[in-house]
Every structure is written in C-alpha cells, then in structure tokens.
Amino acid sequence: MSKNQVEEKEKKIVQDAIKVFMTYGIKSVTMDDVARNMRISKKTLYQYVNDKNDLVAKCLDYDCTETEDRIKEIMKKKLNAIDENLEISKYVVEELRDIHPSIFYDLEKYYPEAWAKMNELRHDFVGEVMQKNMERGIKEGLYRDDINAEIMTRLWVARLNVIFDPHLFPMESFKPVEVYSQMYMHHIRGIASEKGLKYFEQTLKTTKH
C-alpha cells in the first residue's frame, strides 16, 4: 500500500474505534471487541496501532482535531455572540447525545495522559473560544457589561468537568446531554443582557421544530 492508503486505512480504523468506544465505553472494550466490531482480524488491527493505549491516544487526537475544526468552521461564519454560542452548543449536544457516559471516567482513571490532553483542549482551545465570545458579546450589548469574561470562562470550563462526575450525576439517573443542556441554559441566561436575553428567547422559539 502507498503511504496515503496506509494513512486512510489508519484513519478509518480510528473512526471506527471511536464509534465502538462511544457505544460501549473504553475500559470494558477489549482489542478483540474492537477488531470484531470492525470486522477485521486483530492481526490487521495491530498493523496500525501498538496496543489499546496507542489506539485510545490516536482516537483522542483525532477527536480533538475534529472538535477544533468544527468550532473553527462555526467561528468563520462571523455570527453574533449568541448565535455563535448556540451553534457551538448544538455541536456539543450532537457529540454528547451518542456518547457512552463512562468514557470520561475511564479516561481519567485508566488513561491519565489522554485525560490530561482532553483537559488541555478544554482549558486552552475551548476556553479561548468562549472568552473571545464573551468579550464580543459584551461589545455587541448581548451580554451584561458587568461580567468578568475571564472569570466566567474559567467557571464555564470548570463546570464542564462535572458533567461526567459519577458521584454527582450517576450514569443510571442522568444523561450527559441533559446535564449539559441544563447547565448551558443556566449559563447563557446568566450572562445575557436584557437585549441579549430577548434575542436568545426569540431565537429559541424560531429554531424549535
């Protein structure tokens, strides 16, 4: 195979592995399970990854890149701060809707390096995006002018960590997408100005199906 073919094959394996982990979690899934779900031999799988740790790392790298690319595409639309915030939130909801609730717990406990990278993405990239959004929203008059954008950004990023906390939100009782949606609505209504809140509520009405 050519280099491009190898890269495409590895990309397909990573994409398929992400689907398996999203459906069943990480800790409970073996490399045999991954190969079986992909309908390939474990020998073929090991031609592209060294072990499960390597596979998890590659999946996380791919997912982080996809997240950054999707959010950058939203930002290129030059929407107002609330519309941009809503678009990013819709993307997050799409991602959370199909995710197995144990994934982040598994990452933190069994794959600390991968977990650290996930947190780095949250604190650096997502934090930067959200702070710029808040600063612009204040200038547009859509967010309150008495909020500290940096403090509110740090609070928002910190709250993302609790979505998958099994002690606070047991998996059998709370779905991550529902926790996030409630948290998001509380957040946006807290930072929106009177003008922004009216715009936000009207936008929600017109986008409901």
- d(C-alpha 145, C-alpha 61), whole Å: 37
pLDDT at 208 over 70: no
Q: What span, in angstroms and rounded, lies between the C-alpha atoms of 112 and 107?
A: 6
Q: Mean pLDDT over all residues of the chain?
A: 90
Helix residue ranges per DSSP H, 39-193: 42-45, 52-75, 81-97, 103-110, 112-120, 127-139, 149-160, 176-191
209: pLDDT strictly greater than 60: no
- Quick one: pLDDT at residue 18? 94
Whether the Cβ atoms of residue 200 and residue 188 lie closer than 8 Å to each other: yes
Q: What percentage of residues in the chain have a pLDDT greater than 90?
A: 64
DSSP secondary structure letter of residue 143: B
Rg of the chain over CA atoms, in angstroms? 19
pLDDT tens digit string along 25-45?
899 999 999 999 999 999 999
CB atoms within 10 A of CB 3: 7
Give the Cα separation of 130 and 136 in Å (integer): 10
Q: pTM of the full predicted structure?
A: 0.88
- Note the pLDDT of residue 2: 67
Interval 134-152: pLDDT, tens: 999 999 999 999 999 999 9
Query: pLDDT band at residue 164, thresholds of 50, 70 and 90?
Result: confident
pLDDT tens readout for residues 110-125: 998 888 887 787 778 9
Average the pLDDT over 88-112 and give the result. 87
Res 1 pLDDT > 50: yes
Full set of structural domains in the chain with CATH? 57-207 (1.10.357.10)
Q: Which helix (H) or strand (E) holds 16?
A: helix 3-24
